[in-house]
Structure 1
Amino acid sequence: MGRKKMQMAEKSRALTLLEKGDSVIAVARDIGVSREAIYQLKRSTSSFPPGMVPKRKSGSGAPKKTTPRTDKLLKREVTSYPSITSFELKNKHPELLNCVSTRKIRHRLQKDLGLPCRRAAKKPMLTAAMKKKRLIFCKRYRYWTTEEWRKVMFSDESTFRLVRGVPKMVRRPSTASRYDPKYTVKTMKHPGSVMVWGAFSGNMDRAGLYFLPRNVTKKGSNYITVLKDHLLTFWRIHQCDHFMHDGAPAVQHTSRRS
């Protein structure tokens, strides 16, 4: 047995086929509905003028708590302030959202307006001076070819914590203690760390890694040592013409010694 509910276009086609003399079985097979649905459509339109299609009856249930006006308001507010919460929306517009629950507001934003709640991505904060320097850099090298960029050696470093407490979700019964070791994430106040330096180029990809001693950070003096002992060898192998590193003051890239 097929489905019973039909759209207006399907009802119009079914009535047209019935007027042409097709059987109820053939019409039901063509539309993809049950025979009872075609019989019911035929009975309900017996007193209608030719060409008239019966409208679908209004569904049961409570009426919508929101109107097109409130939906437009919700979309405008979230578009202007993406971090605004449903609770803040309700308090900001009590005259329109007084009878609407915060759960209904979230449902309307996610399902009907296409604005689901997502975790914001983390991105470095750039000052006006930083943006200006980046723009100058792009304009200076915008006409470089692929072959020219392949001969650039890039380097960077990163610090890795030896013990790192990773947040996680746990399912803990109400009778258990929150601080039970089974339900906690282990952390250390001053965990050990290792700084790793690496480089690469477009000619031959990775150019090796160098691990600094434990809990030793990079300074102007040891940074020069790293470049002499680990960069120059790969520099000749990769046949590069330029060396590029960031201007991080924490590793003394901008110091006079380096």
Structure 2
Amino acid sequence: MVSQFGSLGYTIMGKTADLTVVQKTIIDTLHKEGKPQTFIAKEAGCSHSAVSKHVNRMLSGRKRCTTNREDRSLITIVKQNRFKNLSELHKEWTEAGVKASRATTHRRVKEFGYSCHIPLVKPLLNHRQCQRRLTWAKEKKNWTVTQWSKDLFSDESKFCISFGNQGPRVWRKGGEAHSPSCLKSSVKFPRSVMTWGAMPSAGVGPLCFLKTKVTAPVYQEILEHFMLPSADQLFEDADFIFQQDLAPAHTAKSTKSWLNVHGDGVLDRPANSPDLNPIENLWGIVKRKMRNKRPKNADELKATVKEIWATIPPQQCHKLITSMTCRIDAVIKAKGAPIKY
């Protein structure tokens, strides 16, 4: 494609000398259009540093095209919905009567400390659930790492063959990653396998791949054939506390009866609280290690998960268990809201 400025013939080869009037005009015109400086340098026939210096001098001596009040109105738009893209922000801002380019909109947002990120995914908590988490955390506030090391944390997790796109990005400042307005609600993905696993401080137990929906009878079979062997392997004859979430199959009367018969103490954690279960982080580690792997079918997916799970060292499990004291403090500080773990 021939540049609209190509006929001017002011290309300077090699080291850039002082910019000509025509080059300055080219730079000014393209900068107002929001073109990147690399593109501007090529069109003007000068170095990137020459463009950068000219733009900086131009900005330092030029009156801002928006007022402080207009700038604040843009930030209000950002805060109202953190998931709007730049074009939507620019459209809403200019529809309010502000005369600014799309590039100016981007600069103003960045000036206030916002940058665009892929949002973290956290469960949506209501007020009652936050209060339950806060009460639970206060009850465990004085627990030591030794006490947490006696817990056998368990959970199910879904592993996907297709990873899909990551959806819209979110505008946030540093330290706002876990702010409720910046979080994305978790969703379920197709083409996947469900697994059950358990871990204490000593390492991981055997994985169970689930073929059917987890009903109470199915869950009790998992406990019989996977949880008990894991406990025998990892705790030997020492006492332990089994920790599970509040899924219907876990809290069914028949499951409670099964646990009572087998003499296993159970420590239920609050609902919608994956951040209070270290095994969730372990699932995350496995999934990150799978990013460069693309299994073609369910059998390959299971083999990959099992292979990576077996490489988790006991030191990694112990490190996650020791984080429980920090998690408890964080929940109390956040008054029951989601925390960074």
TM superposition score category, shorter chain reference: 0.5 to 0.7
Determine whether 1:210 maps to 2:214: no
User: Match for residue 106 of structure 1?
Assistant: 106
**C-alpha contact (below 8 Å) 1:198/1:210 kept by paired residues:** yes
User: How far does residue 152 in structure 1 lie from its aligned partner after superposition?
Assistant: 0.3
Determine whether 1:123 maps to 2:127: no
- Output the CA distance in 1 between the equivalents of 2:114 and 2:192: 41
User: Match for residue 78 of structure 2?
Assistant: 78
Q: Which runs of 5+ in 1 are unaligned?
A: 5-56, 169-189
**C-alpha contact (below 8 Å) 1:195/1:217 kept by paired residues:** no
Runs of 4+ in 1 over 6 A off after TM superposition: 57-62
User: How far does residue 159 in structure 1 lie from its aligned partner after superposition?
Assistant: 2.8
Residues 155, 81 of structure 1: alpha-carbon distance in 2 compared, 3 angstrom cutoff: same
Code of the aligned partner of 1:144: W
Equivalent residue pairs, number? 171
**C-alpha contact (below 8 Å) 1:90/1:102 kept by paired residues:** no
Matches within 5 A, 1:175-186: none
Structure with higher Rg: it is 1
User: Match for residue 231 of structure 1?
Assistant: 227
**C-alpha contact (below 8 Å) 1:153/1:240 kept by paired residues:** no
Residues 219, 65 of structure 1: alpha-carbon distance in 2 compared, 3 angstrom cutoff: same
Q: Which runs of 5+ in 2 are unaligned?
A: 1-17, 19-56, 167-188, 256-341
**C-alpha contact (below 8 Å) 1:220/1:255 kept by paired residues:** yes
- Output the CA distance in 1 between the equivalents of 2:148 and 2:194: 27
Residues 106, 157 of structure 1: alpha-carbon distance in 2 compared, 3 angstrom cutoff: same
Q: What do residues 3-33 of structure 1 show as CA deviations (whole Å, max 9, x unaligned)?
A: x9xxxxxxxxxxxxxxxxxxxxxxxxxxxxx
- Output the CA distance in 2 between the equivalents of 1:193 and 1:122: 19
DSSP 3-state at the match of 1:130: helix
Code of the aligned partner of 1:89: W
Residues 68, 191 of structure 1: alpha-carbon distance in 2 compared, 3 angstrom cutoff: closer
Residues 225, 58 of structure 1: alpha-carbon distance in 2 compared, 3 angstrom cutoff: closer
* TM-score (structure 1 length as normaliser): 0.57
User: How far does residue 62 in structure 1 lie from its aligned partner after superposition?
Assistant: 6.2
- Output the CA distance in 1 between the equivalents of 2:114 and 2:200: 41
DSSP 3-state at the match of 2:251: coil
- Of residues 234, 252, 257, the one that matches 1:255 is 252
- Output the CA distance in 2 between the equivalents of 1:74 and 1:225: 57
Residues 58, 101 of structure 1: alpha-carbon distance in 2 compared, 3 angstrom cutoff: closer
* Coordinate RMSD, CA, aligned: 3.1
**C-alpha contact (below 8 Å) 1:74/1:109 kept by paired residues:** yes
User: How far does residue 90 in structure 1 lie from its aligned partner after superposition?
Assistant: 2.3
- Output the CA distance in 1 between the equivalents of 2:148 and 2:59: 64
Code of the aligned partner of 1:121: L
Residues 132, 105 of structure 1: alpha-carbon distance in 2 compared, 3 angstrom cutoff: same
User: How far does residue 217 in structure 1 lie from its aligned partner after superposition?
Assistant: 1.9
User: Match for residue 152 of structure 1?
Assistant: 151
**C-alpha contact (below 8 Å) 1:155/1:245 kept by paired residues:** yes
% identity of equivalent residues: 28
Code of the aligned partner of 2:216: G
Code of the aligned partner of 1:70: E
**C-alpha contact (below 8 Å) 1:153/1:200 kept by paired residues:** yes
Residues 126, 231 of structure 1: alpha-carbon distance in 2 compared, 3 angstrom cutoff: same
DSSP 3-state at the match of 2:198: strand
Determine whether 1:64 maps to 2:61: no
User: How far does residue 234 in structure 1 lie from its aligned partner after superposition?
Assistant: 2.1
User: How far does residue 101 in structure 1 lie from its aligned partner after superposition?
Assistant: 2.4
- Output the CA distance in 2 between the equivalents of 1:218 and 1:60: 64
User: How far does residue 156 in structure 1 lie from its aligned partner after superposition?
Assistant: 0.4
User: How far does residue 229 in structure 1 lie from its aligned partner after superposition?
Assistant: 1.5
User: How far does residue 209 in structure 1 lie from its aligned partner after superposition?
Assistant: 0.9
Residues 58, 195 of structure 1: alpha-carbon distance in 2 compared, 3 angstrom cutoff: closer
User: How far does residue 223 in structure 1 lie from its aligned partner after superposition?
Assistant: 0.6
DSSP 3-state at the match of 1:195: strand
